[in-house]
A and B are shown apart, each in its own frame.
Chain A
Amino acid sequence: MKLNTQPNFTDPDAFYAALTAIHRDLDRDQSERVNARLVLLLANHIGDMEALQEALEVASNLNDSA
């Protein structure tokens, strides 16, 4: 796998808090827009199509409880 699914955050708790914080005062439509922007920014940062494809597959498997 090209996609790194091992822990990689420099500060996981801080990231999670920041992610939820930006949504705190937003309605659903605004949140949807923010999430879309976030996906686009991060996808460009990754860039590599193979890694992105793997992420898309993992993300779209909604029944994956693992």
Chain B
Amino acid sequence: MKIRITESPFDPLAEVRDYQDEMRQQGKYGASAIFIGSMRDENEGEAILSMELEHYPGMTEQHLEKIAQEAGRRWPLLGTLIVHRTGTVNIADPIVLVAVWSAHRAAAFESCRYIMEDLKSSAPFWKKETTEGGQRWVEKNTPGYTD
């Protein structure tokens, strides 16, 4: 399991490749699921220029680790990688990466979704958007499950 919080831009696919090499589980995993969340240029009908991402250092890492451990209890995972940006984020920058490795696809798909939804609703990050008109805090995340 690897959890990384970074103030610098990151390359999600390079993170996946490097972690996969470090895992040393070649031949064991048959399914990997990767989720990448990136910054859009628009929110609620307004153009967004950039964004500040604040977090609770210490709790963030501890909380993400707890989510990853819970996923490992629910599904047979061989590897879990979570990377999240903080600081000033620009349009199209990757914000979050969740990647999981398992023997079969059901565990990979489901655990990746589980980690991402839990992160969205409970990991201590806050976004402040910069628009033409100034700055505003994002009030809440949109629900991930719509039905």
Say if A and B assemble together: no
Interface positions of B (Cβ within 8 A of A)? none
| Interface residues, chain A, with chain B CB atoms under 8 Å away | none
